[in-house]
Every structure is written in C-alpha cells, then in structure tokens.
A and B are shown apart, each in its own frame.
Chain A
Amino acid sequence: MSRISNRQLVIAFLACRLSSDMITLPAAMVRYGTERFYAILIAKILLLAVYLPVIFFSLKYKGDSVITAAVRRNKAFGVILGVIMTIIITAVGVQTILSLQKYVTDTLLGTIMAWSGITVITAAAVYGAVKGLSAVTRSAVFAAAVFILLIVLIAVTMWDKTETGYLYPAFINDGEYFLKCSLSEISMNSEVLIFAVITDEVRSKPHRTVLYYVPILLVLLEGLNLMYNLILGPYMSEVNYPLYIISSLSDIVIFQRLDGIDAVVWLMCGVIKTAMLIYCVGKIYTVCSKKPRTNRFIMLYGVFLIALCLIFGSDQTVYNRLNAVMNSGVHIIIGGITVPLAVLIAGKKAAGGKVKNDGKI
C-alpha cells in the first residue's frame, strides 16, 4: 500500500477545504462584519468534535480505516457502510464538480459548454485517482505553493487599498446569520469523509493530521476573512467569489490583474479534491469486494460521476436542492460521525463478546 505522511495529508486537506471556501461559499455567507470571525472560530472548535470519532477510531485501531475495520468485523456490515460512504462521497463529488464547473463559467471561461467543463474536470480527477493517493497529495504541495505566491502577491499589491476603518468593535449583530455561517463552515469540511476512508494509508499517527490541520485552517480562514473585511468592507456580500474580486483589483507589474491566477489555484485545488474523493470510492470498492485495486473501476466510476453531474447540473432547482442538503451538513453527520461511531460500537460489542483478534475487530 502506498502510504503518505500526516503532513502531506494536512496540505491536501487544506487545498480541498480552501477550494470549497473559494468555490462553493455563497455570497450570503461572506457578509461584512465580525460575525464571520466568530463563526469560523466556533466552527473550527466544533470541527474538532466532528473529527473525534475518527480520531478515537484511528487511535484504537492503528493501521485500519473505518471501512476495512467494518469489513473485517462483518462483511455485510462493511458493505452496507461502504455503500453509505460511497453515496455520501458521490454527493460531495457531484457538488464539487458542479461548483467547479460553475466557477469556471463565472470566472475563466464563460463560453464553455457545461458538459465539456464537467468532462474535462472529471477526467483530470480520474487520472489523479488512477495515479494514486501519494500522487494527489504531492500535487497538493504545488497547489499550496501557488496559493502562497498568490496571497503574497495580493498582499503586496493591495496593501495600499486596505481600509482599517472597515473593522469595528467585535460583537454579534445578527444571531441568525452567525448560526447559518457556523453551520455552513462545518458543512464544507467534507475532508472528514476522506479521512475516515484513508486513515490506514497514513504512515504514522493519523490523528495528528487533524491536530495540525484544524489550527492551520483556522488561521488561514480568519486571515482571509480579515483580508476580505479590510479590502472589500461593506461590499463583501455583493460578490460571489471575494478572493477572486480582490485578485482582479491587484495590479502587479506583469499582469494588470491576478484573477486568472486566483481561478487557476482554486480550480487546481478542486481537481485535487475531486481526485481524492474518487480515490476514496475506489478504495471502498477494493476493500468491500476484496479485489485488487483496478483502474477500470475508477474510470467507470468517473463516467458515472459525469453522468450524475450532467443530470444534477442540467436543472438549477435540482442543483440548488443538492447544495441545500449539503449545506445542512447531513453528509458530515452520517459519514464523518455516525459511520465511525457505528464501527467503534460494533468493535466494542465484538470485544465484549470475547472475540479477540490482536486488538483488531
């Protein structure tokens, strides 16, 4: 098995999470004011709680993932959990691809046909999944490098355009917005699903991934929010993609604006996230069917994903409903909390029933 380090996974998760923030965050959730600062903080504290079942699992069953442990406990049980996880991951995948396609249409290429955008994005992601987890996570390092470069360029070029007057004393004006924002922040963390599936592919101490990832993410998101407030101020809720707009205002010597580079970064991160999701489905299939990992299955799944995206993307109402369901965080509750807890409880019952297998379920 190709193993990766927890640091590699942290970078890949950051790429996934930040791309969600840049691509899928609705304008209504990025309002001017201090609520979002607190919402991000609260959401990240809650996020640690969301990760707790998987952390407990990884500490108790070292070298196992949720699905491998479930299959070992009982094949039928494992297959059921595998199917549930596949459905959830597929839903996240569809949402990601459609959001990416929409982002591309809104920013880079307004003339692109929806089907061609979806096909190209999915094909690239399938290729990444075929190349393996280590290839995808290593690619995330390069995406992260471009992101850092972008932020530095923006910081340098926009320094004179910041308005500290936009920051006012911190208090919560709108409780409802605060709650919605917090929920939205949690629901975007679909990395917990990936983490639950690939825990066994982390070389050592997988729980440390979360311990590094959440604080870094908190700092990055708060920093980005601060940048939005300082530069955009009251116009924040007027725009769909705040960082894209800020980039378009940036003027470096070579380029008049940086929005193209900004779009490139998030598109790249989105492809990485989709590749990881497809890889996870391939992994679930391998574990549940007990067959060696085949590229053919991943390619077939890619075609299935394209078909689903075309169906969901063809109707704006369906797409909006899908987004509403995903924004409620139900996928996190089921895939990130319930499934690992179910495996933990099953393991405890098995241990109670004196089924011992060297610490394994």
Chain B
Amino acid sequence: MSKYKKSPDLSEKSTEPICSDKKLTAVLSENCTAVRALMNNSSDIIIKYFSVGGHSMASITCEGMTNTEKLADLIFRPLFSSPPQIANGAEFMSEVALTMPIAEEQKQVYDVDALCLAVMSGFAVLLCDGANFGIAIGIQGYSHRSIDEPSTHINLRASREGFIEVVRTNVAMVRRRMKSPTLKTVMMTVGDRSNTDVCLCYLTDKADEHTVASVTDKLKNIPLNTIVSSEYLQSYLEPEETSLFSQIKTTERPDVFVSKLYEGRLGVIVDGTPFAIILPCLLAENFATMDDYTHKPYFSAFMRTIRFLAFIIAAILPGLYVALCNFHPEMLRTALLFNIYSSIQTTAYPVFGECIIMYILYEIMREAGLRLPKSVGHAVSIVGGLVIGEISVSAGLMSAPVVLIIAATGLCSFAVPDLYESCMIMRLVFILAGGVFGLFGITVAGAVMFFRICSKNAYGVPYTAPFAPINIISIMRDTFCRASWQKLSKSDMTVGQLAGYKKSREERTSGNEQDK
C-alpha cells in the first residue's frame, strides 16, 4: 500500500518519514510518475527525457543541487558518444554502470524513496526503460560558503580555516589534518524529514568502544523530524539536557576537532552547520584555546590562570559586592568603603536592587547588540555604554561602583566564551544569594553549585576532572599549566586515563542517578 503524502504539512509533528516502499519498475514513465508523485510535483525536481542507443532514458536532478557542467561532461557526453550496443534495457543499464565509471560516487537505486533521497542529496539519477533500477551519480554542485576563518574561537597563530556548512568538505578538512588509518568516519542520516547527513568521527585506537556504541545508538534513535543545527543533536547526546554546564563542546575549528579526537573523544559533524560537536567535554577544557599550544608554555599557563580568574570574577563578583556592602563592610579597605558608601548615599536604590537592575540592563543591551545588524549594533553599544552608563550615574539612579562591577564582570565573562551562558545564570544566583544571606548565602549557593557540577559524568568521564577527582600530573600537564611539547610528546593522554573514569557500561549505568 502506498504511503505517499500528497501535501505533507511540515509544521505537523509527526515522526513518520515521507517514504515509499514502492520499487522501481521496468517502465520508465511509471517510475517518473512515481517520483513526481512522491515529490508532490515539486518545481525543483527536473526530469529530462532523452534517447540513447534506442533506449528511452531519463535523468532526474534537483535544481541547484547538481553541477550542470559535470552532468554534461561526465554523463551525457560519454553516454551519447559511445553508448553500449545492447538491446535489453536492464543489461544496457548494467553495462553503463559497470563500464562507464563516470563519477567517484555511484550507486544503484531500486526503490522510489532511495531515488528521491539521492536526488535531494545532489545526485543525478539515470533511469532507463526496461530497467527496474536507476543509477545515482554523485555530481553534487550546490553552492556553498567557501572555507573561511571561523567566526568564533578566533586565534592569533593557529590555522585560519574553519568548518563550513558542507559535511563532506568538513570531513575532508579533518582527514587532511589526521592522515591516519585509525581515523574512522561513519556517515549516517538523521532526521526523518530533513534526512540530514551526520558524520561521526573518532580514532579507533583512542576512543572508548562503549562510548562509540552509545553515541552511535543515540544518533540513530534521535526522534527529530528536522535537524538544521548541531545544537539539535546536542540535547540528545548530552547526559543531562537541563544542566547548567554543557558536557558537550562545539567548535568551528578543524584543528581543535582533530586534537580532541586524538585525546580519545568523539566528534560529530552535521551537514548544514559549521559547528561540530565534540564529546565528552571537561570543565577545564573551556579555559584552553588553540593559541595556548602555539605560545610559550609559561605564557599559556599565565593566560589560562587569567581565564580561570576571569570566570570566577564573572560569576561571583556582583554577588560578592552585594554581600560585602550589605553584610560584611568590614572586609573592604577603609578608603574603598568610604568611596562606596558615599556613592550609595546618592543613589535611589539599595545595592542589591541596583545590581539586579544593572545586570538585567546589561544583558538586554548585549542581546540587542547581538541580533541587530552591525551598524545598528554599534549604536546600541554607544547608547548602552555611554548614555545609560554615564547618565544613570550622574542622575543618581545607579552608583558608579555598581556600573563598574557589572561592566567588569561582563568583560570577564567574554574571556571564557564557552561558559558565558552558565556564567550568566551563576551570576544571578550569586547576586540573589549574596543579597539575601551575604557570604553565608554565597557559600551555600557555591556548595550546591559544586555538588551539581561535581556530580556530572559524561560517558564515564567526570566533568570536573582532573581537578576532582584530583590528578596533579594532568593538572600540571595540560590544565592550569601547559607542559612543553618535549614533555607532552613523551606520552599521550586520553580522557580514558583521567582519574575517576568509568570504563565499563555497568559502572556508568549503576549507582546514583547522576552517574547514569
């Protein structure tokens, strides 16, 4: 029975794919009609009829997805110039497939569903009257963005190449950096309607087999209809979707991607997005950049310490300020205390309220500047930074120290961009805790935060490793410090070698809920 959907409503939430189990027949017109019907007579599906060696044939392509020059040069020209002299349609097509290797990627399709999928993927499909199969030829030629410098994770000395939206180009970029036979790429299709190409990459001698099996299983069973971004997959691959800290990292950089694969991690490249997924990810990795490996070790160590410090400041400084002003002014230096109190005296709101208002205003300005066109974004910066900041202080609405602290924390949070979202929430929690209970509140909130972060295990790897469970060697090797290449090259270290790593599946799935 046919499962054609004449007018599929893409907005409807259905997990049923648009598919047909109809096999191709030996009648060309029937096959073409079936394709037209399955594709709802879509205008971008081009069916061209022609005759070669006495055989009625058709080429089916999708407009804009195939390279027309290749279509002419690799398919039509050889086919018309020296067609096999065989009368039977099926044998003619078999001969074409065997003797005319016209493209690197070539496969035979036997059903309408596979044919349509191939066409939508940029293949040209040849059909012949008398043959109950088609030949799909990979001559994809859709336009795409050229390889460019990544928009995020900008580095000074590392590679300027970033991933683009085409999965195969991205896989090639990875392979170019890792010419090892142990690099395995597994291509699969995810998304019942979008049929998005997803490539799982790992090094067979480094990655843990349980993790590979688990990730493959998860990818194959993602119940989404459409996948237009790697973040869609992220929530399915992450052990805890609602967690404040992500145990999965995304990167636009092939060099970072390859180096993570070498550490025993798995990478997932999704077609249509330049952001590749790396898993599992550790907390400490958010503080490392590719430049750390191109600079001198002492400078890298210094910069990493600065980033750790920036993160701590970004998370707790406003909360700490509120706590100190309201509950523990004795901790402040006398001169500073006088200055702060003279500012507070001239403002309308208490410190706690000031901090909350200023923080929310800052986030609104950031969000507004982010979504607007660049030219308007600059205007927002000027209005936000100069006008609101300056005038609110001079009008006595806000005190200068609060504006300074919120601005400083905003700046610090940009030093660790991967943790910006987590930092934003933590900051708000600490402001509330500090405002209500002072340092007592901040400590309790901190303890809860630590319990939460420390309970996380992604695919058997403790999220807080190598800090907790502590591994001094790892910390000194490539966490706080970065050892010299001479030392790093002496031994490889993978995530599986971290303290607290749970190798077996039983260990990962037993115990308390957080360890699952």
Residues of chain A whose beta carbon lies under 8 Å from any beta carbon of chain B: 1-5, 7-8, 11, 104, 108-109, 112, 117, 120-121, 124, 127-128, 130-143, 145, 254-257, 259-260, 263-264, 267-268, 271-272, 275, 293, 295
Contact = CB atoms under 8 A, between A and B. Distances in A.
Nearest to A1: B511
A137 B470 CA distance: 10
Contact of A2 (B328, B333, B443, B510): B510
Nearest to B457: A134
9 contacts: A8-B500, A108-B327, A109-B440, A112-B437, A124-B444, A132-B511, A132-B513, A141-B470, A145-B467
B468 A257 contact: no
Contacts of A295: 513
A136 B451 contact: yes
A108 B511 contact: no
A127 B451 contact: yes
B269 to A, nearest CB: 32
User: Ordered nearest first, which 6 A-B pairs have the shortest CB separation?
Assistant: A2-B511, A135-B455, A138-B468, A138-B454, A141-B468, A132-B512
Interface in B457-516: 462, 464, 467-470, 499-500, 507, 510-515
B331 A109 contact: no
B440 A132 contact: no
Interface string B414-439: 00000000000000000000000111
Nearest to A132: B512
Nearest to A255: B331
Contacts of A124: 444, 447-448, 451
A284 to B, nearest CB: 15
Given A108-B438, A109-B440, A112-B440, 9 more contacts: A8-B500, A108-B327, A108-B440, A127-B448, A138-B454, A139-B451, A145-B467, A260-B439, A264-B442
B439 A264 contact: yes
B469 A8 contact: yes
Contacts of B334: 256
Contact of B450 (A104, A139, A264): A139
Contacts of A260: 324, 328, 331, 439
Contacts of A136: 451, 454
B119 to A, nearest CB: 51
B377 interface: no
B439 A135 contact: no
B464 A138 contact: yes
Given A141-B468, A268-B443, A132 B455 contact: yes
A157 to B, nearest CB: 13
A351 to B, nearest CB: 30
A209 B334 CA distance: 46
Interface residues of B, number: 39
A218 B180 CA distance: 53
B433 to A, nearest CB: 10
A5 B469 contact: yes
Given A127-B451, A255-B333, A138 B443 contact: no
Nearest to B332: A256
B331 A1 contact: no
A142 B448 contact: no
Contacts of B514: 2, 131-132, 134-135
Contacts of A267: 440, 443-444, 447
Given A108-B438, A135-B514, A141-B470, A259 B451 contact: no
Contacts of B455: 131-132, 134-135, 138
A258 B324 CA distance: 12
Contact of A142 (B324, B327, B468): B468
B452 interface: yes
Contacts of B331: 255-257, 259-260
A5 B454 contact: no
B272 interface: no
Given A255-B333, A256-B332, A5 B440 contact: no
Contacts of B464: 138, 141
A259 B438 CA distance: 14
Contact of A128 (B440, B447, B470): B447
A324 to B, nearest CB: 27
A264 B443 contact: yes
Contact of B333 (A7, A127, A142, A256): A256
Contact of A1 (B462, B499, B510): B510
B515 A132 contact: yes
Contacts of B510: 1-2
Contact of A104 (B332, B440, B448): B440
A132 B452 CA distance: 10
Contacts of B332: 255-256
A200 B343 CA distance: 58
A301 to B, nearest CB: 15
A142 B467 contact: yes
Nearest to A248: B330
**A7, A139, A143: most-surrounded residue (chain B CB, <10 A):** A139
A11 B439 contact: no
B141 interface: no
Nearest to B515: A2
Contacts of A4: 469, 500
A121 B444 contact: yes
Contacts of B469: 4-5, 7-8, 137-138, 141
B194 to A, nearest CB: 37
Nearest to B330: A257
Contact of B444 (A7, A11, A120, A259): A120
B367 to A, nearest CB: 31
